[in-house]
């Protein structure tokens, strides 16, 4: 198992954002995480990448107990994260962004791999010129994935990376992710609102609602689950 969550709860004061969630991700798996707004998806991501600390439960990644591992060391053990709102290192060029990610995420430099990532994300022509802050949204999203890939992740967490893209853009982006998976053998854990994309790409889907995991299975069974349908249509869940 790559990642295992065992009864993880994240509470902010009295507000329980993630409640008693358990699941695991295996190597090379493509796993979707869905749920209505406010269901706790991003909080769960933040807990795994170390931005927030769970109040209860245990997380392990590749045999490491994540509890004592500070955020900056999680990249080293193979957790890659792409944010919902792209977080480029604004002042640096695309290539410099990747150099920093590679140097600190892996501990060594490998210019060949950086060229490979530039090629994969189709950012080669912009690599050395302007600051990352001047990139268009699509390019910033591609860079977000590129930076994560530069840290040699074993699992890539993608937080709504497709949001704001039009249909062709989405298709091209999914192609990039698929290439990345094939070439670098990473597992994908993706939060996405677009049910169609999730159904087409993910082998397994998790559904969160009010912080609780209400379904875990193949897209077909999950999207037929009455509780999942209710959570999306806003009906009574009790």
Partner 1 sequence: MMKYLSLIIILAGAYLAVPLQFGGNDYVIGIVVSALTIAGIAVAWAMLGNLGGMISFGHSAFFGVGAYGSALLAMNAGLPVFPSILAGGVIAGVVSILTMPTLRLRGPYFALAMLAFAEIFRILAIEMRWLTNGSGGLLSIPRLPTVFGFDFGSRLGGYFVVLTLVLLTVFVYWLIRNRPEGLALRAMHDSEDATLVVGVNATRLKAAVLVVSAFLTGIMGAFNAHYINFLEPDYAFNGSWTTLAIVAAIFGGYKTLWGPVAGALIVYLVDQFVFKAIMPSGHQLILGGLLAAIVIFSPSGLLPWLASRFRKEAGDAAHP
Separation between Cα atoms, residue 114 and residue 59, nearest integer Å:
31
By CB under 8 A, is residue 66 in contact with partner 1? no
Q: CA 52, 57, 61 angle in degrees (round to 5)? A: 75
Residue 126 or 204: which CB sits closer to partner 1? 126
**Cβ neighbours of residue 146 closer than 8 Å, sequence gap 6 or more:** 94, 97, 98, 101, 117, 118, 120, 121, 123
3-state secondary structure of 49: helix
Q: Is 11 in the site for partner 1 (CB under 8 A)?
A: no
The one segment of 20-28, 103-111, 197-205, 207-215 that binds partner 1 by CB under 8 A: 103-111
Q: Minimum Å distance from CB 66 to partner 1?
A: 14
- Compute the chain's Rg from CA coordinates: 18
Q: Which of 61, 83, 173, 223 binds partner 1 (CB under 8 A)?
A: 83
Give 11 or 51: the residue with its C-beta nearer to partner 1.
51
Q: Which residues contact 122 (CB under 8 A, 6 or more apart)?
A: 142, 176
Pick one of 20, 96, 115, 216: the residue that binds partner 1 (CB under 8 A). Answer: 96
Compute the residue count for the chain. 238
Binding-site size, partner 1 (CB under 8 A): 32
Residues found near partner 1 in the complex (CB under 8 A): 49-51, 71-76, 80-81, 83, 87-92, 96-97, 99-105, 109, 147-148, 150-151
């Amino acid at each position: 198992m790559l990642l295992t969550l065992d009864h993880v709860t994240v509470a902010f004061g009295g507000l329980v954002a993630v409640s008693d969630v358990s699941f695991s991700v295996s190597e090379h798996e493509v796993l979707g995480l869905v749920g209505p707004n406010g269901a706790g998806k991003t909080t769960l991501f933040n807990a795994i990448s170390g931005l927030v600390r769970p109040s209860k439960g245990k997380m392990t990644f590749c045999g490491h107990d994540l509890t004592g591992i500070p955020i900056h060391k999680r990249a080293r053990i193979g957790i890659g994260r792409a944010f919902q709102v792209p977080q480029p290192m604004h002042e640096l060029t695309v290539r410099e962004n990747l150099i920093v990610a590679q140097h600190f995420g892996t501990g060594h430099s490998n210019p060949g791999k950086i060229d490979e990532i530039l090629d994969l994300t189709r950012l080669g022509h912009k690599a050395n010129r302007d600051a990352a802050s001047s990139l268009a949204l699509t390019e910033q999203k591609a860079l977000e994935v590129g930076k994560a890939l530069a840290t040699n992740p074993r699992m890539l967490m993608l937080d709504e990376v497709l949001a704001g893209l039009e249909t062709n853009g989405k298709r091209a982006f999914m192609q990039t992710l698929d290439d990345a998976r094939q070439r670098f053998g990473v597992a994908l854990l993706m939060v996405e609102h677009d049910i169609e994309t999730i159904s087409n790409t993910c082998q397994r889907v998790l559904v969160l609602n009010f912080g609780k995991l209400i379904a875990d299975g193949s897209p077909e069974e999950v999207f037929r689950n009455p509780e999942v349908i209710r959570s999306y249509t806003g009906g009574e869940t009790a």
